Each structure stands twice: as structure tokens, then as C-alpha cells.
């Protein structure tokens, strides 16, 4: 089995601020019990202090908001959508990186040539979404989707498959495996941006400067 390689385009250098459930309820204008339910369900990542109090890191809160297509308050600062793209063909990955380059201020792209490595990276990198080629030699895209969907802590990651053999049957198989969409190759970046509703999910303060 050929080993996969991972590359990162861009980075987020910021200091995490910690929020209480009441801080988040104020920020998002929701009831504190709603925030607690998000944490209990595992869709909003949190940790407990030595005193037993829940705290949420600002980066995890941004991830939650972008993943669930909710506006990101300006207090949380600029936010980008983190995508992990999986395809065993390096020329395809290079083409996708070129296509996303004009959106570098909105999308942070990581790539890997291995489905197996993608299953490891999704836990480490916690992307908002993944774009997965269906036809790969080590583990196909359908199986990658199924394994990620089997992990409760990964339920917030939006999965998108892509294929050169785009048929209704393939689209249905992808959705049954947990993907929100199956796109034809070559990938249309506009479709990806629409699936993540990037203009709605990201604050627009940078655009006004």
C-alpha cells in the first residue's frame, strides 16, 4: 500500500479564548440549556476545568458555527472553512488547490493521497468538511464516509464525495454512506462553496476593510 502524504495550504495562528456556556448563550442569543445540549451531544467540543466547569475554546466554537452554517459573530474574529481533500491522484489534488487559490482567505485546504491517512487526519485536524474521491486503491470513498459517520465525535464534519463516474446510483450510494453531496469531477469549486454557504458562515468584517 502506497503511503499517503498530507499537505496544508495556509494556517491559523491565533490564541484560543475560553468561553463558558453562558458566554456562548449571550454571544449566540440562545438559551444556556441549548448550549449544554450541544455539548452533551458531542457536536460542540468542550472540556472541564479542575473545578468541573465546562469551557469551550474559540476555535472549537468557530468550527461548530461554520459546520452548522450559523453566522460567526465578529467577536470570534475571522474564520475560515477547513477542508480536507482526499484523492490518490496528485495531479487532481494540484488542480483542486489551484482552483481554491482565489478563495484562500475563506478556505484552508489540506490534501492527502490516502483514504487510510484521511481517517487519521480527520481526528487530528478536525476539518469542517471533507471532499473524498470515491475511487481510491487503499480504501474507497464510500468506506471512508461510513467509517467517519460511525464516529459520534465526527458527526459535525460535512462529507462530500467526488467521482468521474457521476450517476444517480453513485449519488445515492454516497448519501447512504453519509455524504451531503456527490459532485462530478473535475470539481466545481463554486458548488463546494455553496454547500458550505461560505458567504453566510463567515463574518464579513474583512470584506468591509
Residues 115-154: pLDDT tens digits? 999 999 998 888 888 999 999 988 999 999 999 999 877 8
Residues 92 and 136 in one domain: yes
Contact 177, 170 (CB under 8 A): no
Other CB atoms within 10 A of residue 156 CB: 20
Query: What pLDDT was estimated at residue 2?
Result: 41
Whether 173 is covered by a domain: the verdict is yes
Same domain, residue pair 100 and 183: yes
Residue 22 falls within a domain, yes or no?
yes
- Alpha-carbon span 50 to 142, nearest angstrom: 41
Name the percent of the chain lying above pLDDT 90. Answer: 48
Question: CA–CA separation, 191 vs 131, rounded Å?
Answer: 12
- Report residues of the chain scoring pLDDT below 70: 1-16, 77-79, 197-209
What's the confidence (pLDDT) of residue 105?
78
**Do residues 174 and 97 both lie within one domain?**
yes
Q: How many CB atoms lie within 10 A of CB 201?
A: 21
Kindly report the backbone phi and psi dihedral angles of residue 132, in degrees, each rounded to the nearest multiple of 5, phi listed first: -125, 125
Amino acid at each position: 500500500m502506497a503511503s499517503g502524504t498530507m499537505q496544508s495550504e495556509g494556517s491559523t495562528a491565533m490564541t484560543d479564548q475560553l468561553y463558558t456556556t453562558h458566554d456562548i448563550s449571550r454571544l449566540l442569543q440562545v438559551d444556556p440549556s441549548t448550549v449544554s445540549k450541544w455539548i452533551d451531544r458531542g457536536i460542540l467540543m468542550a472540556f472541564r476545568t479542575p473545578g468541573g466547569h465546562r469551557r469551550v475554546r474559540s476555535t472549537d466554537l468557530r468550527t461548530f458555527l461554520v459546520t452548522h452554517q450559523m453566522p460567526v459573530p465578529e467577536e470570534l474574529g475571522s474564520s475560515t472553512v477547513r477542508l480536507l481533500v482526499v484523492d490518490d491522484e496528485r495531479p487532481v489534488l494540484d488542480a483542486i488547490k489551484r482552483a481554491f487559490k482565489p478563495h484562500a482567505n475563506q478556505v484552508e485546504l489540506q490534501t492527502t493521497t490516502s483514504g487510510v491517512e484521511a481517517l487519521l487526519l480527520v481526528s487530528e485536524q478536525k476539518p469542517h468538511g471533507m471532499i473524498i474521491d470515491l475511487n481510491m486503491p487503499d480504501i474507497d470513498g464510500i468506506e471512508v464516509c461510513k467509517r467517519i459517520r460511525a464516529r459520534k465525535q465526527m458527526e459535525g464534519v460535512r462529507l462530500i464525495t467526488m467521482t468521474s463516474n457521476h450517476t444517480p446510483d453513485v449519488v445515492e450510494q454516497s448519501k447512504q454512506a453519509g455524504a451531503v453531496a456527490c459532485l462530478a469531477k473535475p470539481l466545481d469549486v463554486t458548488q463546494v462553496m455553496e454547500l458550505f454557504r461560505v458567504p453566510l458562515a463567515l463574518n464579513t468584517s474583512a470584506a468591509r476593510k
